[in-house]
Structures are given as structure tokens and as C-alpha cells.
């Protein structure tokens, strides 16, 4: 009588240490590409505000003490408070912001992949996420964010982690509120939570935002009053609206109308129409069971209606690239759309139009199309996203 051999379970290798090393390599690559010796213009503004807060000076006027710093701090006081570690020194500030942006890039990539392909194994999702993060460095908004020392990737990571359900249920909405307290524009996601009937998260986000504003007032009452009564209404404080980098509809209108008095009313009308339509499209995408598409649609709606959306603010292109390519299996036309859409943000198409020294006021029609291509791409994304809901069965 023979006995069957005992089959031992197959041992699988723990790949997490290798993934950790790969993630560290991505962070190191970012530091190598944008070292602490780099000239990061926006980070200088952050550093000055953080230093001003640490030294008890006015965070909104301290930039006058720094030679060559033409623009001042444009965020609420709470932002300067959380940026206070930057006050240690400019080189340290550049290193810290680059590392935070790199970690945020990895977080954005992994969360995006996990949401687009929820059935993939952890290891497969990690490989794809690491690869996507590295490829994401090729996008102009991502490169510009690193190059200028901007906080865009950090805010995007906070929003995606919260809105896509990667935070504990009881705390969902907190990160949206914190992001709104830092830069205000993420406040559109509180409206998104309301239109998608996520009322508890909207309430939590609103309370968290109010908490950041209250904390800013308690710590810096004078600057807080100045921000809400003076600086927030100063249209020139962030920079000229017609500058090519401003890819919002206000920027496009300012370039087309040559900065005439019609710019403001036309922008308000356009913002109301596009804002309403964008949020309705986001609600439809969310109802169709496509949370990433809904969140990205809201992000692009916010960029379109905002008074200022510099090209580095368009880091929403990173999850959007994954989104448009997830539509590509529908048809050849969708693959062409995804390819063309990606190229716009890879090459930074608006920068190919004449810019600086008010050349934006004299664009020909083809130059205007190129010079406003981020805004055009955003509108195309919203319209295409709406069309894809017409036949959900065709989606992968």
C-alpha cells in the first residue's frame, strides 16, 4: 500500500522590501532632478511666509524684504502655519518640498492604479503604481510643480486618498477640509460631496475647513482679517491673469479680450455655466460607479472656473491620463483621443504659443488654440466623460 506524498504549500517571496527600495529610488530620482540648489521661485514665497510666521512678522508683506520676490503669499494663514518647518532654511525647504512631492506622487500613482484596476493583486498594483509615478514625471504640470517647489502634488494626494475612500470611514472629509484650509480651491470638493449625496463627508470637510480658518484667526488675527478683507480680492496679487501659464477660462478670456473690462463678467458667466455642468457630469460619473472619473472631472472643473490656474496646478493630468486610457478599449477613436490628450500635457502645449511681454494679446486663431490647450483639453475631457456614460457596458 502506497501513500500519497504530502504537498507543502508554495512559499511566495515577500516583495515589499523591493517595492520600498524602488519607491526610495523614485524619491532619490526626484531629488537628483530638482536638488536643493535649484531655483524654486514659488518655494521662496512659501519660505518667506513660513519665516515670517516663525519670526512674528506679517506673512503677507514679508516678501518685500526679499530681493527679486515680486509676488507675495496668497494662501490663508493656516497654510503658513503648517509650512513653518520650511523656515529652517531655504536649502532644507527645497529638499523637504521635493521629498514631500515625490512621496505624494507615489501615493497618487498607487491610489489611481488601485482605483482603476481594483481586482489586481497588491504586488501587481504596486509595480504599476511605481511605473506610473516614474512616467508621471514626464508630464509638464508635474515637472513644473517640482521645478517651482509648489505644493500641488501634496494637495492632490490628500484629496485622492480622502475622496476615493482610502481613509477610515469616520475620518472621511477631514483631508478635503485640510486641503481647502491650505489653498481654498479644493473647496469645490465639498460641493462635489453634496451633489453626490455624501452629506456626512461634506459636513466633516466643512467642519475641518472651518477649524483651519479658526485656528489661523486665533494664531494670527491681524493677517487673517487682512487676507479675507483685502488680499483675497486683489486680482493682481497672484500675477497677471492673461499670462500664458493661466489656463483657466478667465485666463483664456483675458487673452482673447486683451484684458478689457468684459473679462470679469464673461468669466463669471462662463464659470457659472462650466461649474454647474462639470459638477453635474461628475455626479453622473459617480452614479455610474466611476469614483475616480467623478473626482477627476471635479478637479478639472475647479481648474477651469478658478480665477488663476497656473500650468503647474494642472497636476490633475496625472490621474486623468490613467482615466482616459482606461476608456481606450472602447474604440479606436477613444485611443486616438487618449493619445492626443496625453501629448498635450507631456509637451506642455500652451508654452509653444507666443508668451510674455503681452504677446498673449496678439495670438492668431491657431496660436490661441495652442495657448489655451489645457482649458480646451479639460472641456474635452468633461464632454467625453459624459459621453462614456451613455453605454456603460462598453467600458472596461
Q: Chunk the chain into consecutive blocks of 10 residues (it has 396) and report each block's average pLDDT, rounded to whole numbers.
A: 54 79 96 95 95 95 86 94 96 98 98 95 94 97 98 98 96 98 97 98 98 97 94 83 97 95 95 98 97 98 97 98 94 95 98 96 97 98 94 50
- Please give the pLDDT value at position 394: 44
- Please give the pLDDT value at position 250: 97
Domain for residue 4, yes or no?
Answer: no
Question: 99 is in which domain, residue-wise?
Answer: 29-237
CA atoms of 150 and 94, how far apart (whole Å) = 10
- Asked if residue 250 and residue 230 are part of one domain, the reply reads no
Kindly list the distances between the CA atom of residue 390 and the CA atoms of 75, 331, 339, 382, in Å, as whole numbers in the listed order.
40, 14, 22, 13
- DSSP labels, 339-366: HHHHHHHHHTGGGGS--STTGGGG--HH
Q: CB neighbours (10 Å) of residue 216?
A: 22
- Asked if residue 103 and residue 85 are part of one domain, the reply reads yes
Domain for residue 20, yes or no?
Answer: no
- Asked if residue 320 and residue 287 are part of one domain, the reply reads yes
- Asked if residue 135 and residue 50 are part of one domain, the reply reads yes
Single out the residue in 203, 218, 237 at which a domain terminates: 237
- Asked if residue 261 and residue 216 are part of one domain, the reply reads no
Domain for residue 66, yes or no?
Answer: yes
Domain for residue 188, yes or no?
Answer: yes
Kindly list the distances between the CA atom of residue 52 and the CA atoms of 56, 72, 155, 203, 224, in Å, as whole numbers in the listed order.
6, 12, 23, 33, 14
What are the cell numbers at 18?
Answer: 523591493
State the virtual CA torsion across 395, 291, 185, 344 in degrees, nearest 10.
-20
- Asked if residue 391 and residue 326 are part of one domain, the reply reads yes
- Asked if residue 276 and residue 226 are part of one domain, the reply reads no
- Asked if residue 142 and residue 279 are part of one domain, the reply reads no
- Please give the pLDDT value at position 5: 56
Single out the residue in 210, 237, 264 at which a domain terminates: 237
Domain for residue 11, yes or no?
Answer: no
Domain for residue 19, yes or no?
Answer: no
- Asked if residue 155 and residue 61 are part of one domain, the reply reads yes
- Please give the pLDDT value at position 3: 56
- Asked if residue 203 and residue 265 are part of one domain, the reply reads no
- Please give the pLDDT value at position 15: 82
Nearest of 29, 292, 245, 20 to residue 135 by alpha carbon: 29
Domain for residue 5, yes or no?
Answer: no
- Asked if residue 245 and residue 163 are part of one domain, the reply reads no
Domain for residue 107, yes or no?
Answer: yes
| Total number of domains in the chain | 2
- Asked if residue 114 and residue 231 are part of one domain, the reply reads yes
Single out the residue in 195, 221, 237 at which a domain terminates: 237
- Please give the pLDDT value at position 395: 42
Amino acid at each position: 500500500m502506497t501513500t500519497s506524498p504530502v504537498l507543502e504549500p508554495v512559499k511566495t517571496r515577500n516583495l515589499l522590501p523591493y517595492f520600498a527600495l524602488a519607491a526610495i529610488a523614485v524619491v532619490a530620482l526626484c531629488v537628483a532632478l530638482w536638488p536643493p540648489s535649484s531655483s524654486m521661485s514659488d518655494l521662496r514665497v512659501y519660505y518667506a511666509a513660513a519665516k515670517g510666521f516663525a519670526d512674528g512678522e506679517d506673512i503677507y508683506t514679508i516678501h518685500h524684504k526679499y530681493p527679486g520676490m515680486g509676488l507675495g503669499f496668497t494662501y490663508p494663514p493656516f497654510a503658513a502655519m503648517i509650512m513653518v518647518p520650511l523656515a529652517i532654511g531655504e536649502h532644507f525647504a527645497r529638499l523637504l518640498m521635493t521629498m514631500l512631492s515625490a512621496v505624494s506622487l507615489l501615493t497618487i500613482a498607487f491610489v489611481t492604479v488601485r482605483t482603476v484596476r481594483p481586482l489586481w493583486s497588491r504586488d501587481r498594483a504596486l509595480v504599476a503604481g511605481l511605473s506610473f509615478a516614474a512616467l508621471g514625471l514626464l508630464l509638464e504640470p508635474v515637472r513644473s510643480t517640482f521645478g517651482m517647489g509648489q505644493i500641488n502634488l501634496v494637495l492632490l494626494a490628500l484629496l485622492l486618498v480622502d475622496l476615493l475612500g482610502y481613509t477610515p470611514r469616520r475620518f472621511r472629509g477631514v483631508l478635503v477640509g485640510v486641503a481647502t484650509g491650505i489653498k481654498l480651491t479644493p473647496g469645490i470638493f465639498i460641493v462635489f460631496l453634496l451633489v453626490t449625496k455624501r452629506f456626512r463627508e461634506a459636513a466633516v470637510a466643512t467642519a475641518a475647513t472651518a477649524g483651519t480658518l479658526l485656528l489661523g484667526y486665533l494664531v494670527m488675527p491681524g493677517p487673517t482679517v487682512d487676507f479675507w478683507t483685502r488680499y483675497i480680492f486683489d486680482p493682481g496679487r497672484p500675477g497677471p491673469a492673461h499670462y500664458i501659464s493661466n489656463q483657466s477660462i478667465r485666463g483664456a478670456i483675458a487673452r482673447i479680450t486683451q484684458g478689457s473690462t468684459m473679462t470679469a463678467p464673461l468669466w463669471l458667466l462662463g464659470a457659472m455655466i462650466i461649474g454647474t455642468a462639470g459638477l453635474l457630469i461628475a455626479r453622473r460619473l459617480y452614479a455610474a460607479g466611476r469614483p475616480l472619473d467623478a473626482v477627476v472631472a471635479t478637479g478639472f472643473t475647479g481648474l477651469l472656473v478658478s480665477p488663476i490656474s497656473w500650468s503647474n496646478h494642472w497636476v490633475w493630468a496625472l490621474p486623468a491620463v490613467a482615466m482616459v486610457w482606461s476608456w481606450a478599449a472602447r474604440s479606436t477613436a477613444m485611443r486616438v483621443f487618449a493619445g492626443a490628450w496625453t501629448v498635450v500635457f507631456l509637451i506642455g502645449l500652451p508654452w509653444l504659443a507666443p508668451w510674455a511681454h503681452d504677446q498673449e494679446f496678439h495670438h492668431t486663431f491657431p496660436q490661441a488654440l495652442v495657448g489655451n490647450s489645457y482649458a480646451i483639453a479639460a472641456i474635452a475631457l468633461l464632454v467625453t466623460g459624459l459621453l462614456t456614460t451613455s453605454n456603460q457596458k462598453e467600458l472596461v
